[in-house]
């Protein structure tokens, strides 16, 4: 349904146990493979080099694809490096001691945990900021927050659309999740309005700099 609506990026992972279904959906969509950007992630049990190669091949096989566009280590673990949920310090340690700098850091980012410092650091280092859990998993009444509701009403949009547009205007890549077709469509339709500077500032004021999840 998401591909039919117009989404062209899918985020999956070995630990989600749905790579096979993702691959089937891409094939059934009839879209050219190169038109869909596919991300998957290596789980922590496979962080040794040889295990990582096998884990990657396993994901390719499950997906039924010839390549993966973006491959992430799922989380920081032990003494191994990853590029999901990495602090600025841990990420800097990674690229100072390795030849290739990570392309993406996927971190929890939403109105209550805005990652302003991380965003500035990533931009300065040329690393893409990608947001997971943009709706804070529904915590702290995010969908009934009065500031977000007022902004949504002003634009005739949902609170979810406002959050996604706010992240988009910040230059943050976002991966919203829904199993309902109406919300999948709603989350996609964020390009026909723009938040004002005052509205962006009002949302910025919601930052608590900590995770409610």
Give the residue numbers annotated as catalytic, written as ranges. Answer: 16
Two tokens, residue 134: 């943009």
Q: Which of 139, 130, 183, 134 is nearest to 158 (CA)?
A: 183
Q: Which of 117, 108, 173 is nearest to 135 (CA)?
A: 108
Two tokens, residue 135: 């709706």
| Other beta carbons within 10 Å of 54 | 11
């Amino acid at each position: 349904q998401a591909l039919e609506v117009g989404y062209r990026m899918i985020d999956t992972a070995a630990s989600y146990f749905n790579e096979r279904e993702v691959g089937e959906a891409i094939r059934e969509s009839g879209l050219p493979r190169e038109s869909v950007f596919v991300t998957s992630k290596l789980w922590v049990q496979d962080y040794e080099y040889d295990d990582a190669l096998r884990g990657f091949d396993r994901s390719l096989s499950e997906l039924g694809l010839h390549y993966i566009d973006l491959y992430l280590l799922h989380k920081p673990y032990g003494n191994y490096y990853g590029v999901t949920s990495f602090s600025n310090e841990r990420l800097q340690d990674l690229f100072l001691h390795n030849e290739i700098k990570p392309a993406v850091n996927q971190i929890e980012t939403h109105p209550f945990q805005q990652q302003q410092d991380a965003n500035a650091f990533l931009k300065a280092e040329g690393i893409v900021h990608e947001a997971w859990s943009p709706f804070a998993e529904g915590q702290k009444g995010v969908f009934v927050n009065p500031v977000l509701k007022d902004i949504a009403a002003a634009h005739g949009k949902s609170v979810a659309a406002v959050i996604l547009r706010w992240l988009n205007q910040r230059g943050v890549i976002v991966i919203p999740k829904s199993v309902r077709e109406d919300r999948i469509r709603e989350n996609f339709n964020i390009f026909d309005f723009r938040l004002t500077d005052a509205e962006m500032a009002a949302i910025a004021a919601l930052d608590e700099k900590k995770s409610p999840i």
